[in-house]
Every structure is written in structure tokens, then in C-alpha cells.
Amino acid sequence: MNRKIVLLPGDGIGPEVMGVARALIETLSDIAGARLELLEYPIGGAAVDAAGEPLPEATLRAALAADAVLLGAVGGPKWDDLPPERRPEAGLLALRKALDAYANLRPVRTIPALLDRSPLRDARPIDLLIVRELTGGLYFGTPRGITETGREREAVDTLRYTEGEIERIVRLAFRLAERRSGRLTSVDKANVLASSRLWRDVVERVRKDHPTVEVRHVLVDAMAMALVDRPWAFDVVVTENLFGDILSDLGGALVGSLGLLPSASLSEAGPHLYEPVHGSAPDIAGRDVANPTGMILSTAMMFELSLSLPDVARAIVAAVDDVYADGFRTADLTPADAPAGVRTVGTEAFGAAVIERAARRL
Ligand code: NAI
Ligand code: MG
């Protein structure tokens, strides 16, 4: 039976990086003898323009019925004047919620040939995994919104977590830590927030089931500092939705570009969702300059976690390392003082170089 992959390019640079992912999947699944059916649907700004809503019913239905969902990016100033529930980002949040894609895994890894792109003076390879809770917290809690209170407006957002929501992400993080270095950092703001005190409580309870994992609690402000100070000291980092969002952009800067980071959002019941960490980058959209690496590595995570084709996943990751070692760079990674041997290429050419090398490795 064919396995169904739903592709949701979105808007901005989404369709450009998705074009690379599609070509990559087509070439490699052919070689690996995997029978995949690729189905494409609009989401975000593209769906707003075509259908007046950011997550059309047909898109949602196809995603729920898929074996895996791959998403580009959504959002941009073009849709700023729409009411919040009709903006592109609302479509993505609704999709994550509908899939119950609660566990957002964001590996932050230095690509060997890009160690010189680290902004840190003492650059050492980074290899950590941010485990971000994705369907709770401030992004979903109610009440929320802006109200008129007479003379001025008032806004409210709610950071709400149930014990069960915390427990499932924390349990997953412990299992991942066991499979990696055995070190887990839980990031919260327990000195101020009630939700963080509950979070810390749950971590302490769950750790009894994982006696070999070494656990540290770090406050999020201290964590921002520590990630700049000694990012190589961390392995698995588990945290709530907003903190994980912010810290992973910092992670992108640490390894050279936000365009490098992939993610997988795991669901217990539905298909998993794969998307790069970056947004729709409207400032560079439509010019064939976006870095497709985050999208390519998200595709590798899909081959490993949803399609059980770890060899294909490994070939993709190795091909990305090779392409950088061979001097290919997109514009975000080409400094004015680029070393000799560095070649600036566009999105498509970069993708083609990865596909060729990955195919050779299979
Ligand atoms: P962004 O991630 O789109 O861009 C931040 C900066 O990084 C920009 O200068 C951009 O050019 C650069 N950049 C991002 N991805 C890149 C890539 N692959 N290659 C080269 N450079 C890259 O974040 P920004 O500008 O804050 O948001 C733009 C829009 O994207 C907003 O509407 C925002 O809501 C949306 N967004 C969507 C996300 C998603 O679809 N998952 C995630 C984050 C933001
Ligand atoms: Mg973000």
C-alpha cells in the first residue's frame, strides 16, 4: 500500500524550500523502493488568498488522514490586517492542535564545515535537542484577546498547563535523554510562574522512573545566558511552548543560521508533523536565496520517525554535511570574508547538490 505524505508549502519561502523537499523525497523513495504518494494542499497565506481561510477543511482532512505531514512556512505582513483567527499563523496553530502534535523535537547541531559560522569566540560543536511542548501554554490558553475597558484597551493571554500535558512531554524527554547522553535540562520560570512550579513538580515525579538520567532545572533567563556561554554542555532540553520557541531561535544563531534547523512534532494518535524552525522569511521570498537545509533535515526526520527508513534519513544528513564540506553555501551563510572554495548558490542548486549526494549514498 502507498503511504501518503501531505505537503503543505504555505507561503513566503515555504514553496521554495518545499520544492526541494519534494524533489528529494521523489528521488530517494524511488531508490529505496518506498511507495509514497505526495499530496499537496494550501495552508497559511496561500490558503487565505485562495479560499479565504488559513486552514481549509480539505487541507485539515488530508493532513489527519496522512502517514506524515510536511510543512514549509506561513505568515507575513501581507496578511497583517486580517483578524487574528484568519491570519496564516492561526492556520498552523490550528493544524498543530488538530494533529495533537504536542512534542516538538528541535535538534540544534553544528554542521562540521560551518563551525566557523558560530558567533561564539570559543566555538565548539553543538549537538543538543530542544524538546518544546507545542499544543499548550500561552499559545493556546484562554481567556485571550484584547478588550476595551473604557478609556484604554486591555490584553490578556493565559499560560495554562494541565499535569497530564506536562507529564507526556516530560516522559518523552526522559526517554530521549536515555537514548542520548543521559543528561536532561528542564527549563522553566519556577521562581515566578505557577505553571512552572507544576512543571518542576512533574519533572521531579517522573525522574523517579528514570534513575539513570541526570536532571537539572534551569530558569529560562539563566538558560538564555548558558546557551550563549556553553551550549556544548547541554544535551536534551525540555521546556514549555513559548520558552522553547525563543530558545530554539537562539540555537539557530549559535550554529550559523536559523535556516539550518529542522523539527519534528510528534503526535500520539495522528500523523507526525515536520517543518523547519524558521518562518516564511518574506524579506527574501521569491528570489531563490532561501536556505533549504532546515526543510531538508526535517524531511530526514520524517524518513526516520514516520516512514521507518533510517538509512534514507542518514543518507540525507550525511549529504547535507558533504555539501557544506564541498563549499556550497546559500546567501545566509556567505559572509563578506568567505574563505576560498566557498560557492554561493541558490535554493534549487543547493537542493540539487544534496539530492545528488544523498542518492549516491543509498
Ligand atoms: P523568519 O524565521 O521568517 O525570518 C527571520 C530571519 O531569518 C529573516 O531575516 C529571514 O530572512 C531569515 N531566514 C529565515 N529562514 C531562512 C532561510 N531558510 N534561509 C535564509 N534566511 C532565513 O521569522 P520572522 O521574520 O520573524 O517572521 C516572518 C513571518 O513568518 C511572520 O509572519 C511569522 O509569524 C512567520 N513565522 C512562521 C513560522 C512557521 O511557519 N512555522 C515560524 C516563525 C515565524
Ligand atoms: Mg519561532
Counting ligand 1 atoms within 8 A of each CB, the residue from 280, 297, 320 with the most, and so the one to mutate, is 280
Give yes or no for a cis peptide into 143 (omega within 30° of 0).
yes
Q: DSSP labels for 255-305?
A: HT-GGG---EEEESSS-EEE--SS---TTTTTSS----HHHHHHHHHHHHH
Please list the residues that pair with 73 across neighbouring strands: 10
Reported as a pLDDT band with limits 50, 70 and 90, residue 12 is very high
Instruction: Write the pLDDT tens digit of every residue in 105-135.
Output: 999 999 999 999 999 998 999 999 999 999 9
Largest CA distance in the chain: 67
**Ligand nearest to the CA of residue 279, numbered in listed order:** 1
179: which 3 cell numbers? 537514548
The candidate with the shortest Cα–Cα distance to 278, out of 265, 294, 289, is 294
Nearest 5°: the CA angle 342, 344, 350 is 105
- Identity at 264, one-letter amino acid code: A
Average pLDDT on 323-343 reads 91
Per the annotation, the verdict on 321 as an active-site residue is no
Distances (CA, A) of 347 to 6, 135, 249: 22, 31, 21
Mean pLDDT over 289-293 rounds to: 98
More confident residue, 1 or 359: 359
Taking 90 as the threshold, does the pLDDT of residue 28 lie above it? yes
Query: Is residue 245 lining ligand 1, measured as CB closer than 6 Å?
Result: no
Using pLDDT thresholds of 50, 70 and 90, give the confidence band for residue 197.
very high
What is the pTM assigned to this prediction? 0.96
Q: 3-state DSSP call for residue 216?
A: strand
CA–CA dist 272, 60 (Å, integer):
13
Domains and CATH numbers, the chain: 1-108+257-362 (3.40.718.10), 119-255 (3.40.718.10)
ipTM score for this prediction: 0.97
Q: Does residue 129 line the site of ligand 1, with CB under 6 A?
A: no
Whether ligand 1 lies within 6 angstroms of the CB of 54 is answered as no
